[in-house]
Chains A and B, each alone.
Chain A
Amino acid sequence: MRTAAEISNGEKAVIMGIDSTHPSSRRIIELGFTPGQEIELVTRSLFNDPLAFSIRGALIAIRKKEAASIQVI
């Protein structure tokens, strides 16, 4: 399974699960990254990190490391 860190610019994916052992997992869920939601990688910052995802009508920037805790298909 891929993670949100691996999808390409403009690509959409559906969240399958969040790695709950990741230290930021609670905050990631609080911001709306929950299983079943569609996300889109809208843009990347310089050096390809952090990534800006569209989720539930909001644009949220997270680091690649955090995106790797979001499993998608």
Chain B
Amino acid sequence: MAAVAVHQFAQCITCHAWSPDQSMVAFCPNNNEVHIYKLLEDKWEKVHVLQKHDQIVTGIDWSGRSNRIVTVSHDRNSYVWNQEGAEWVPTLVILRLNRAALCVQWSPRENKFAVGSGAKTVCICYYEQENNWWVSKLIRKKHDSSVTSVAWHPNNILLATTSTDGKCRVFSTFIKGVDTRESKTSSSSDSKFGEQIVQLDLSFSWAFGVKWSPSGNTLAYVGHNSMIYFVDDVGPSPLAQNVAFRNLPLRDVLFVSEKMVIGVGFDCNPMVFAADDSGIWSFIRFLGERKASSSSSKYGSQFSEAFGKLYGQSKHGLSNDTVEPSRAHGVVHENCINCIVPLRKEGPRTKRFSTSGLDGKVVIWDLENQEVVSDYL
């Protein structure tokens, strides 16, 4: 089975992140706190609660080398947490936003992080040694709506964003004194901070979840109209592919190799997309137990479930602990999956990853020995 571990940590999880050695997991249980769990004697125990935000925490990222946690929240602020002894010490980062912060990601070199917000702006934050202070530089007036996701190119300069205006954009985030000349690639060598490299206008509805492939050659993002978009040659003349699928829309994506993408979303079951030898992307199969083949009864049951909800047969009465995993439709997650994080990288490939969602579970998946899938890894 592809799902190797299922942890019911909370009623609902907005986002999660792993410590560098993956012995600890941080997540937000749909409130203003971040809980850190550690594996102690085969049991996951709560070891820290990070309390500083006033409102729901929407983004967590744990840097791999410097062991720092960055969190962002609807309260429009961000904190960088450093472990000092047994304590996690927060440093406030004033983002200068007038709307909620929605997502955050450390840059590959971990000297900057990017925050997407509901204020139609992206903040690029970096540490100023002389002032002992995190500075936030804004990319303004480029987005027409909330920024739902940010993704760093491996070169530490280019940043891709998706927005509820349906567009995916790529910016240069070159900051003097932080980035050096040699860290720039030829394609972005002339661009200043905040300069838009390309705007992709493929989706007619909200865009979510953007990621670069390990090499940075391909970009993938999803639309709220059950479409996924793959873009090669990101630059003046990008090559785009639109892939429509028959299921509910996706919320986030992850490249596990140059030729394979995992998409997660409202269908509660990770979907595998892969490119064939000619570079044509297509849907391969579901990663969970449910078969990709269609059946009318499936939709029948989904419709009757919806009617059931209309007539007040709400599922909220059930205690989450009593719900057996993989009971609903034979899949592991029982609600929308909104976060996917890679685990244990082996070179450019990711064989393990974890997902979390509105059902409060963190699920670890392994792609080893998965039929069809291993051909593309």
Q: Do A and B bind each other?
A: no
